[in-house]
Protein backbone atom coordinates (compact mmCIF):
# COMPACT_ATOMS: atom_id res chain seq x y z
CA UNK A 1 0.00 0.00 0.00
CA UNK A 2 2.81 2.37 0.79
CA UNK A 3 4.27 1.66 -2.62
CA UNK A 4 0.92 2.34 -4.29
CA UNK A 5 0.39 5.63 -2.42
CA UNK A 6 3.91 6.67 -3.33
CA UNK A 7 3.34 5.86 -7.01
CA UNK A 8 0.10 7.82 -7.12
CA UNK A 9 1.76 10.81 -5.39
CA UNK A 10 4.35 11.14 -8.16
CA UNK A 11 1.59 11.83 -10.68
CA UNK A 12 -0.27 14.52 -8.80
CA UNK A 13 -0.50 17.87 -10.64
CA UNK A 14 2.17 20.33 -9.52
CA UNK A 15 1.17 23.53 -7.80
CA UNK A 16 1.98 26.82 -9.58
CA UNK A 17 5.02 27.63 -7.37
CA UNK A 18 6.42 24.14 -7.92
CA UNK A 19 5.86 24.40 -11.71
CA UNK A 20 7.75 27.70 -11.81
CA UNK A 21 10.57 26.21 -9.72
CA UNK A 22 10.83 23.19 -12.03
CA UNK A 23 11.00 25.46 -15.08
CA UNK A 24 13.80 27.45 -13.50
CA UNK A 25 15.66 24.22 -12.68
CA UNK A 26 15.26 22.93 -16.22
CA UNK A 27 16.46 26.24 -17.62
CA UNK A 28 19.57 26.07 -15.46
CA UNK A 29 20.24 22.48 -16.51
CA UNK A 30 19.78 23.27 -20.19
CA UNK A 31 22.01 26.34 -19.88
CA UNK A 32 24.70 24.22 -18.24
CA UNK A 33 24.49 21.65 -21.03
CA UNK A 34 24.78 24.30 -23.73
CA UNK A 35 27.59 26.27 -22.13
CA UNK A 36 30.15 27.04 -23.43
CA UNK A 37 29.19 25.84 -26.90
CA UNK A 38 25.89 27.67 -27.30
CA UNK A 39 27.09 30.87 -25.68
CA UNK A 40 30.47 31.12 -27.35
CA UNK A 41 29.59 30.33 -30.93
CA UNK A 42 30.68 32.52 -33.81
CA UNK A 43 33.96 32.77 -35.61
CA UNK A 44 37.50 33.98 -35.14
CA UNK A 45 40.36 34.69 -37.55
CA UNK A 46 43.88 34.54 -36.14
CA UNK A 47 47.03 35.82 -37.81
CA UNK A 48 49.66 33.40 -36.52
CA UNK A 49 53.39 34.13 -36.37
CA UNK A 50 53.99 30.92 -34.41
CA UNK A 51 54.49 27.68 -36.33
CA UNK A 52 51.71 25.94 -38.24
CA UNK A 53 51.61 23.05 -35.75
CA UNK A 54 51.46 25.36 -32.74
CA UNK A 55 48.74 27.49 -34.31
CA UNK A 56 46.71 24.34 -35.05
CA UNK A 57 47.15 23.17 -31.45
CA UNK A 58 45.90 26.37 -29.81
CA UNK A 59 43.12 27.09 -32.28
CA UNK A 60 41.92 23.49 -32.09
CA UNK A 61 41.86 23.46 -28.29
CA UNK A 62 39.96 26.75 -28.20
CA UNK A 63 37.44 25.59 -30.80
CA UNK A 64 36.84 22.36 -28.90
CA UNK A 65 36.26 24.17 -25.62
CA UNK A 66 34.07 26.98 -26.94
CA UNK A 67 32.44 25.90 -30.18
CA UNK A 68 33.90 28.94 -31.95
CA UNK A 69 34.79 28.41 -35.61
CA UNK A 70 38.50 29.28 -35.51
CA UNK A 71 40.50 29.89 -38.65
CA UNK A 72 44.09 31.05 -38.81
CA UNK A 73 46.51 32.39 -41.39
CA UNK A 74 50.12 31.42 -40.82
CA UNK A 75 52.68 33.86 -42.14
CA UNK A 76 56.07 35.43 -41.52
CA UNK A 77 56.38 38.33 -39.13
CA UNK A 78 56.91 40.94 -41.82
CA UNK A 79 54.00 39.67 -43.90
CA UNK A 80 51.51 39.64 -41.04
CA UNK A 81 52.64 42.95 -39.53
CA UNK A 82 52.25 44.60 -42.92
CA UNK A 83 48.83 43.00 -43.35
CA UNK A 84 47.54 44.14 -39.95
CA UNK A 85 48.72 47.71 -40.53
CA UNK A 86 47.38 47.79 -44.09
CA UNK A 87 43.96 46.59 -42.91
CA UNK A 88 43.50 49.39 -40.37
CA UNK A 89 39.99 50.76 -40.66
CA UNK A 90 38.67 47.53 -42.17
CA UNK A 91 40.45 44.69 -40.35
CA UNK A 92 39.87 41.15 -41.54
CA UNK A 93 41.39 39.30 -38.56
CA UNK A 94 40.80 39.43 -34.82
CA UNK A 95 44.04 38.30 -33.15
CA UNK A 96 47.78 38.54 -33.80
CA UNK A 97 49.29 35.43 -32.22
CA UNK A 98 52.97 35.00 -31.44
CA UNK A 99 56.09 36.86 -32.39
CA UNK A 100 58.22 39.03 -30.16
CA UNK A 101 56.74 41.78 -28.05
CA UNK A 102 58.74 44.34 -30.04
CA UNK A 103 56.73 43.53 -33.14
CA UNK A 104 53.47 43.96 -31.20
CA UNK A 105 54.81 47.29 -29.94
CA UNK A 106 55.48 48.37 -33.53
CA UNK A 107 51.96 47.36 -34.58
CA UNK A 108 50.48 49.12 -31.56
CA UNK A 109 52.24 52.35 -32.51
CA UNK A 110 50.39 52.26 -35.83
CA UNK A 111 47.09 52.24 -33.95
CA UNK A 112 46.13 48.77 -35.17
CA UNK A 113 45.80 47.06 -31.76
CA UNK A 114 43.00 47.18 -29.21
CA UNK A 115 43.46 47.50 -25.46
CA UNK A 116 42.54 44.47 -23.39
CA UNK A 117 43.84 43.44 -19.98
CA UNK A 118 42.92 39.81 -19.45
CA UNK A 119 42.17 38.64 -15.90
CA UNK A 120 44.45 35.68 -16.69
CA UNK A 121 47.43 38.06 -17.05
CA UNK A 122 47.49 38.76 -13.32
CA UNK A 123 49.87 35.84 -12.64
CA UNK A 124 52.42 37.00 -15.22
CA UNK A 125 55.45 39.14 -14.38
CA UNK A 126 54.99 42.84 -15.22
CA UNK A 127 57.68 42.64 -17.90
CA UNK A 128 55.54 40.10 -19.76
CA UNK A 129 52.58 42.42 -20.35
CA UNK A 130 51.95 45.87 -21.70
CA UNK A 131 50.85 48.37 -19.08
CA UNK A 132 48.09 49.61 -21.40
CA UNK A 133 46.87 46.14 -22.33
CA UNK A 134 47.96 46.33 -25.96
CA UNK A 135 49.78 42.97 -25.83
CA UNK A 136 50.36 40.15 -23.36
CA UNK A 137 53.17 37.60 -23.28
CA UNK A 138 52.59 33.86 -23.02
CA UNK A 139 56.05 32.35 -23.67
CA UNK A 140 59.75 33.21 -23.68
CA UNK A 141 62.20 32.61 -26.49
CA UNK A 142 65.99 32.98 -26.69
CA UNK A 143 68.48 32.86 -29.54
CA UNK A 144 71.03 30.12 -30.07
CA UNK A 145 73.24 28.53 -32.70
CA UNK A 146 72.32 25.21 -34.27
CA UNK A 147 75.11 23.02 -35.62
CA UNK A 148 74.64 20.08 -37.98
CA UNK A 149 77.04 17.62 -36.38
CA UNK A 150 77.67 15.51 -39.49
CA UNK A 151 78.29 18.45 -41.83
CA UNK A 152 80.48 20.20 -39.25
CA UNK A 153 82.64 17.07 -38.77
CA UNK A 154 82.94 16.59 -42.53
CA UNK A 155 84.13 20.16 -43.11
CA UNK A 156 85.98 21.00 -39.91
CA UNK A 157 87.03 17.68 -38.39
CA UNK A 158 87.37 17.69 -34.62
CA UNK A 159 87.46 21.46 -34.35
CA UNK A 160 85.45 22.76 -31.34
CA UNK A 161 81.95 23.96 -32.07
CA UNK A 162 81.40 27.72 -32.04
CA UNK A 163 80.40 28.79 -28.55
CA UNK A 164 80.07 32.59 -28.80
CA UNK A 165 78.55 35.06 -31.23
CA UNK A 166 82.07 36.20 -32.13
CA UNK A 167 82.95 32.67 -33.24
CA UNK A 168 80.57 33.07 -36.19
CA UNK A 169 82.89 35.71 -37.66
CA UNK A 170 85.51 33.11 -38.59
CA UNK A 171 86.06 33.29 -42.39
CA UNK A 172 86.15 29.48 -42.43
CA UNK A 173 82.37 29.53 -41.98
CA UNK A 174 81.76 31.58 -45.16
CA UNK A 175 78.67 30.26 -46.94
CA UNK A 176 77.92 27.76 -44.17
CA UNK A 177 75.70 30.05 -42.05
CA UNK A 178 71.97 30.59 -42.46
CA UNK A 179 70.11 33.45 -40.74
CA UNK A 180 66.65 34.73 -41.53
CA UNK A 181 66.06 38.15 -43.05
CA UNK A 182 65.27 40.65 -40.26
CA UNK A 183 63.03 42.60 -42.63
CA UNK A 184 60.70 39.60 -42.78
CA UNK A 185 61.38 37.75 -39.53
CA UNK A 186 61.13 38.80 -35.90
CA UNK A 187 63.66 36.06 -35.08
CA UNK A 188 66.36 37.72 -37.18
CA UNK A 189 65.41 41.20 -36.02
CA UNK A 190 65.93 40.04 -32.45
CA UNK A 191 69.36 38.74 -33.47
CA UNK A 192 70.30 42.10 -35.01
CA UNK A 193 69.08 43.97 -31.94
CA UNK A 194 70.96 41.53 -29.68
CA UNK A 195 74.23 42.56 -31.28
CA UNK A 196 73.39 46.26 -31.17
CA UNK A 197 72.32 46.14 -27.54
CA UNK A 198 75.10 43.91 -26.19
CA UNK A 199 77.94 45.65 -28.08
CA UNK A 200 76.57 49.15 -28.51
CA UNK A 201 75.37 50.86 -31.68
CA UNK A 202 78.68 51.34 -33.54
CA UNK A 203 80.36 48.08 -32.47
CA UNK A 204 77.13 46.21 -33.12
CA UNK A 205 76.94 47.43 -36.70
CA UNK A 206 80.61 46.57 -37.19
CA UNK A 207 79.85 43.02 -36.08
CA UNK A 208 76.86 42.75 -38.44
CA UNK A 209 78.82 44.15 -41.37
CA UNK A 210 81.51 41.50 -40.85
CA UNK A 211 78.99 38.69 -40.45
CA UNK A 212 76.66 39.42 -43.38
CA UNK A 213 79.14 38.39 -46.16
CA UNK A 214 79.63 35.02 -44.45
CA UNK A 215 75.92 34.15 -44.50
CA UNK A 216 74.94 31.77 -47.29
CA UNK A 217 71.21 32.45 -47.19
CA UNK A 218 68.73 34.90 -45.65
CA UNK A 219 65.34 33.11 -45.87
CA UNK A 220 62.16 34.94 -44.91
CA UNK A 221 60.83 32.51 -42.30
CA UNK A 222 62.23 32.10 -38.81
CA UNK A 223 61.56 28.37 -39.10
CA UNK A 224 63.92 27.95 -42.06
CA UNK A 225 67.35 27.88 -40.32
CA UNK A 226 66.51 24.95 -37.99
CA UNK A 227 65.16 23.00 -40.95
CA UNK A 228 68.11 23.81 -43.22
CA UNK A 229 70.61 22.95 -40.49
CA UNK A 230 68.72 19.84 -39.44
CA UNK A 231 68.65 18.45 -42.99
CA UNK A 232 72.33 19.26 -43.50
CA UNK A 233 71.99 21.96 -46.16
CA UNK A 234 73.96 24.34 -43.93
CA UNK A 235 76.38 23.77 -41.08
CA UNK A 236 75.37 26.64 -38.79
CA UNK A 237 72.10 28.43 -38.22
CA UNK A 238 70.92 31.17 -35.90
CA UNK A 239 67.47 30.47 -34.54
CA UNK A 240 65.40 30.30 -31.40
CA UNK A 241 66.62 27.57 -29.05
CA UNK A 242 63.18 26.01 -28.85
CA UNK A 243 63.05 25.55 -32.64
CA UNK A 244 66.46 23.91 -32.63
CA UNK A 245 65.45 21.75 -29.66
CA UNK A 246 62.45 20.46 -31.60
CA UNK A 247 64.61 19.26 -34.47
CA UNK A 248 67.05 17.62 -32.06
CA UNK A 249 64.15 15.93 -30.24
CA UNK A 250 62.94 14.57 -33.59
CA UNK A 251 66.28 12.83 -34.15
CA UNK A 252 68.07 15.27 -36.44
CA UNK A 253 71.87 15.54 -35.84
CA UNK A 254 71.65 19.04 -34.39
CA UNK A 255 73.79 20.34 -31.54
CA UNK A 256 72.43 23.33 -29.71
CA UNK A 257 74.75 26.11 -28.52
CA UNK A 258 73.39 28.89 -26.32
CA UNK A 259 76.03 31.64 -26.48
CA UNK A 260 76.63 33.86 -23.46
CA UNK A 261 74.99 37.29 -23.67
CA UNK A 262 72.21 36.10 -25.90
CA UNK A 263 68.85 37.79 -26.25
CA UNK A 264 65.46 36.54 -25.28
CA UNK A 265 62.10 38.11 -25.67
CA UNK A 266 58.54 37.54 -24.68
CA UNK A 267 56.29 36.06 -27.34
CA UNK A 268 52.96 37.84 -27.22
CA UNK A 269 49.34 37.82 -28.26
CA UNK A 270 47.29 40.91 -29.06
CA UNK A 271 43.82 41.87 -30.28
CA UNK A 272 43.42 43.69 -33.59
CA UNK A 273 41.49 46.94 -33.20
CA UNK A 274 38.08 46.89 -34.84
CA UNK A 275 38.22 43.20 -35.68
CA UNK A 276 34.91 41.58 -36.60
CA UNK A 277 34.80 39.24 -33.57
CA UNK A 278 35.98 41.31 -30.62
CA UNK A 279 34.29 39.24 -27.91
CA UNK A 280 35.69 35.97 -29.20
CA UNK A 281 39.09 37.63 -29.54
CA UNK A 282 39.03 38.45 -25.82
CA UNK A 283 37.96 34.88 -25.04
CA UNK A 284 40.84 33.57 -27.12
CA UNK A 285 43.40 35.72 -25.30
CA UNK A 286 42.04 34.52 -21.96
CA UNK A 287 42.41 30.93 -23.17
CA UNK A 288 45.96 31.37 -24.50
CA UNK A 289 47.06 32.80 -21.15
CA UNK A 290 45.59 29.89 -19.18
CA UNK A 291 47.84 27.29 -17.56
CA UNK A 292 46.15 24.53 -19.57
CA UNK A 293 46.85 26.17 -22.93
CA UNK A 294 50.39 27.17 -22.00
CA UNK A 295 51.24 23.66 -20.77
CA UNK A 296 50.08 22.11 -24.04
CA UNK A 297 51.83 24.81 -26.07
CA UNK A 298 55.14 24.47 -24.19
CA UNK A 299 55.16 20.67 -24.44
CA UNK A 300 54.83 20.93 -28.20
CA UNK A 301 56.83 24.09 -28.94
CA UNK A 302 59.55 23.57 -26.27
CA UNK A 303 59.50 27.28 -25.49
CA UNK A 304 59.90 28.56 -21.93
CA UNK A 305 56.52 29.18 -20.26
CA UNK A 306 55.56 32.34 -18.40
CA UNK A 307 52.67 30.91 -16.36
CA UNK A 308 54.01 29.86 -12.93
CA UNK A 309 51.95 26.66 -12.87
CA UNK A 310 53.39 25.24 -16.11
CA UNK A 311 56.05 22.52 -15.88
CA UNK A 312 59.04 22.94 -18.25
CA UNK A 313 59.51 19.82 -20.42
CA UNK A 314 62.82 17.97 -20.25
CA UNK A 315 63.61 18.66 -23.92
CA UNK A 316 63.25 22.41 -23.47
CA UNK A 317 66.09 24.69 -22.39
CA UNK A 318 65.34 26.02 -18.88
CA UNK A 319 65.69 29.72 -18.20
CA UNK A 320 68.54 29.04 -15.77
CA UNK A 321 70.69 27.71 -18.63
CA UNK A 322 70.35 30.89 -20.68
CA UNK A 323 72.60 33.92 -20.10
CA UNK A 324 70.39 36.80 -21.19
CA UNK A 325 71.36 40.39 -21.79
CA UNK A 326 69.11 43.10 -20.39
CA UNK A 327 67.17 43.34 -23.61
CA UNK A 328 65.03 46.43 -24.19
CA UNK A 329 62.03 45.59 -26.41
CA UNK A 330 60.77 49.18 -26.28
CA UNK A 331 64.05 50.40 -27.77
CA UNK A 332 63.95 47.63 -30.36
CA UNK A 333 60.47 48.73 -31.40
CA UNK A 334 61.43 52.39 -31.61
CA UNK A 335 64.51 51.64 -33.73
CA UNK A 336 62.87 49.13 -36.04
CA UNK A 337 62.48 51.30 -39.16
CA UNK A 338 65.93 52.84 -38.84
CA UNK A 339 67.64 49.50 -38.21
CA UNK A 340 65.92 47.70 -41.08
CA UNK A 341 66.76 50.47 -43.54
CA UNK A 342 70.41 50.31 -42.55
CA UNK A 343 70.40 46.52 -42.66
CA UNK A 344 69.35 46.58 -46.31
CA UNK A 345 72.44 48.66 -47.13
CA UNK A 346 74.58 46.09 -45.30
CA UNK A 347 73.37 43.12 -47.34
CA UNK A 348 73.11 44.90 -50.72
Distance of alpha carbon 293 from its chain centroid, rounded? 12
- C-alpha distances out from residue 276 to 59, 163, 272, 281, Å: 17, 48, 9, 9
Chain length of the chain = 348
Q: Show pLDDT as tens, one digit a residue, over the chain (348 residues).
A: 333 332 222 233 444 444 444 444 444 333 344 344 434 479 999 999 998 999 999 999 999 999 999 999 999 888 999 999 999 989 999 999 998 888 899 899 999 999 999 999 999 989 899 999 999 999 988 999 999 999 999 999 999 999 999 999 999 999 999 999 999 888 899 899 999 999 999 999 999 999 999 999 999 888 899 999 999 999 999 999 999 999 999 999 999 999 999 998 889 999 999 999 999 999 999 999 999 999 999 999 999 888 999 998 888 888 778 899 999 888 988 899 999 999 999 988
* pTM, two decimal places: 0.71
For the chain, domains (ranges, CATH) are 43-140+265-315 (3.40.190.10), 142-263+334-347 (3.40.190.10)
Separation of alpha carbons 143 and 257, rounded Å: 9
Kindly report each contact of residues 83-89 with a partner whose C-beta sits within 8 Å and lies 24 or more positions away, as own/partner: 83/47, 84/47, 84/112, 84/272, 85/110, 85/112, 87/112, 87/272, 88/112, 88/273, 88/274, 89/274
Contact 55, 293 (CB under 8 A): no
Amino acid sequence: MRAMRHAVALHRPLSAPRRHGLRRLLAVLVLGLLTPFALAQGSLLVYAVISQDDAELLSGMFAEQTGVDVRFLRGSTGELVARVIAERGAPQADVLLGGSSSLHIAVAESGALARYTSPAAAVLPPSARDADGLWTGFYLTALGIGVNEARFAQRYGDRPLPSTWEDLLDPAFAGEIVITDPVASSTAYLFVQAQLQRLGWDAGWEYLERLAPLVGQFPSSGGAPPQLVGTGEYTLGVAFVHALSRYRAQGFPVSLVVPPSTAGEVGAVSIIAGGPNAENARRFVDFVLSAEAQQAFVEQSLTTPLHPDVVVPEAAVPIGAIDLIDYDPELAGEQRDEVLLRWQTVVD
